[in-house]
Amino acid sequence: MNFSLLKFTVKVLVKGQFADFSSYHLWHFNTCRKAKLGSNSLNLKMHYVYIMLRKTFLSLICILGLFWSVNAQSIDFKYATFDEAKDASKVAEKLIFVDFYADWCGPCKAMENTIFTKAEVGAMFNKDFVNFKIDSELEEGKKLVRHYGVQEFPTYLFVNSEGEVVHKIIGFQSVRNLLIEAGKAKRKFEGFVPIRRLDSVYENGNDDVDFLYEYLKRKSYEEGSQPKVLAKYLEVVPESELQTEKVLSLISENVTSVSSKGFYILAESLSRFMKLTESQQKYVLKGISNSKKLTFREAVENKDDELFDVLIDAVHATSYSRQAAFAEERQFRYDYAKLTRNFKHFKLIAQEEATQIMSRSMEDFEEHTKRTIEAFKDTAKEKGISESSGRYQMMLAGLENGAAKAASFQLNDFARGYYEMASDDMDFKNAIKWSAFAIKLDETAANWETYAFLLKKVGRTRDAKKAMKQAMKMAKKDNLETDTLKAAFKNIK
C-alpha cells in the first residue's frame, strides 16, 4: 500500500475538500493514474479509509460543538477564592452568587447538572452576578460555612462586595424558582444599605423604633447576638408590642443574660404561654434557654458565684414545675462545680447521688429497665412503628440494661471528678468504691481507666496496672483507640 498516498488522503479529509463519493472517486482515479498506480483493490480501500475517517472527524466536531455550546449556557463559576469574587464584585458593582455545595449532596449535583446548565439560567447569572462556588468540606468552605451559619445543602447566598448577605435560598430549585429568587436578590440590592453605614447612623444616636428594628435584624444576622442594641430597642418599642411575634423573635435572637429586660419579657410570657401562637412559644423557650446557657458560661469563665446564684433564681422562675426546677438546678450546680473545679460543691452533689445509686440492687436496675422498655413498646405501638423495623430494633437495643448503664456512667463521672479535684485519701477511697460499682454495672474501658487512676492515687500500683490492662482489653474489644491507655499504663510506676 502507498503510505504517502494515504497520508495525503488524510490531509484532504481534514480540509474537507470532497462532500460526496463521486468527487472523491474522480480525485482518487486521477491521483492513482498520475502516480502510475493501478486502481486495484488495495488502492480502492483508500476510499473506505476516507469515508470512515471523515465520519469520525465530523462526529468529533459535533461532540465538541455540543460541549462548547453547553458550557456557554452554564453558570460560569470562574473565581478560585471568595476574596477574588469580592474584588470582582466591587469592580462590576454586582452581587456575588455563592453556591455552598458538598460532594455527597445529591440535590447539589442535580442543580449543577440540570439547572445551572440551562441557557436562561446561565444567561441571567453570567450577566447579572459574579458567580462563586465553594466545596463546604474544604478549608475555605468550612470557614465560610461557620461565618454564614450554613446548615443545609445546597445553600445559595447573594452577597455584596463586603460579604453582607442580601438574599438567601436553600435546597433544590427549579429553573423558574431560581430565576424568581435571583430577581428578588437584584431588587433587594438596589435599595441595600451596607451595615457600616447603618453602624454610623446608630452611633450618631438614631433611636427611631423602625430603624432600630431593621438595624437589629441586620446586625444580629451578620454578627450574632446584639444585647446592647436590643436593650436600646426595648426602651423605645411600645409596651403594647412587647408580646408580639415580631418583638419576641428579636429578643429570642439577641438576649444573652437572665438579668436583662429581654429575659424578663420572655419570663413574663410564660404566664400566658398556652395563649401564645406556636411560633411565639418557640421564640420564648429558645430565648429563655439561650439566656440561661450564656449566663452560665459567663459565670464559669469569671468564677462568679453571685452571677451563678442569679442564674439559679432564674431557673426556678422559669421552670414548668418544682421538680423540673430542682433537676435543672442540680445539673447547673454539678457542671459549675466541675468546670470551676470547686470540689466543695462538687462533693456535696456527688456524695448524695452516689449514695443513692450504691443503695440500689441489680434487681432494682433490671426492674427499672423493664418498665422503660414496656413504656417504649407501648409508645411505638401507638405511633405505628413496626417491631421488625430497623428503627424499632435499634431503639430497643439502646434500652437494654439502660438503667444500669446510666447509673454506671454517673458513678464514673463522680469518681473521675474526685480523681481530678480531691486531695484526701478518704475521698479517694470513696471514689474507688463508686468506680468499682460502676464497673460492676457496666464494664467499659472508660470505667476501668478511672479505676486504675484512682488506685494509683492511693499507691496501689500493681492493682492499677491490672486495671489499666483491663481498660486496654475492653477498648480493643469495642474497637476503640488504645494509644492513650498504653501511654497511661507506662506512667504507672
Q: Which residues are catalytic?
A: 105, 108
**What backbone torsions phi and psi does residue 165 show, to the nearest 5 degrees?**
-75, 125
The C-alpha cell that represents 44 in the structure block: 480502492
Residues contacting 87, CB < 8 A, separation 6+ = 161
- DSSP letter at 115 equals I
- A 10 A CB-CB count for 197 gives 9
Q: Yes or no: say if 123 and 89 are a contact pair by the CB < 8 Å rule.
A: no
C-alpha–C-alpha distance, residues 369 and 325, integer Å: 25
C-alpha–C-alpha distance, residues 105 and 417, integer Å: 42
Q: Tell me the one-letter amino acid at 171.
A: G
C-alpha–C-alpha distance, residues 195 and 78, integer Å: 28
Q: Tell me the one-letter amino acid at 340.
A: T
Q: Which residue has the cell 433611636?
A: 207
C-alpha–C-alpha distance, residues 209 and 232, integer Å: 9
Q: Are strands 129-135 and 165-170 parallel, antiparallel or unpaired?
A: unpaired
**How many CA atoms within 13 Å lie on the side-chain side of 472?**
15
- A 10 A CB-CB count for 488 gives 17
**What backbone torsions phi and psi does residue 77 show, to the nearest 5 degrees?**
-95, 90
C-alpha–C-alpha distance, residues 366 and 234, integer Å: 54
C-alpha–C-alpha distance, residues 73 and 248, integer Å: 46
Query: Which secondary-structure segment (H or E) carries 225?
Result: none
In this structure, is the dihedral angle defined by the CA atoms of residues 455, 458, 463 and 465, taken in order, positive or negative? positive
Residues contacting 171, CB < 8 A, separation 6+ = 107, 152, 154
Q: Yes or no: say if 489 and 469 are a contact pair by the CB < 8 Å rule.
A: yes
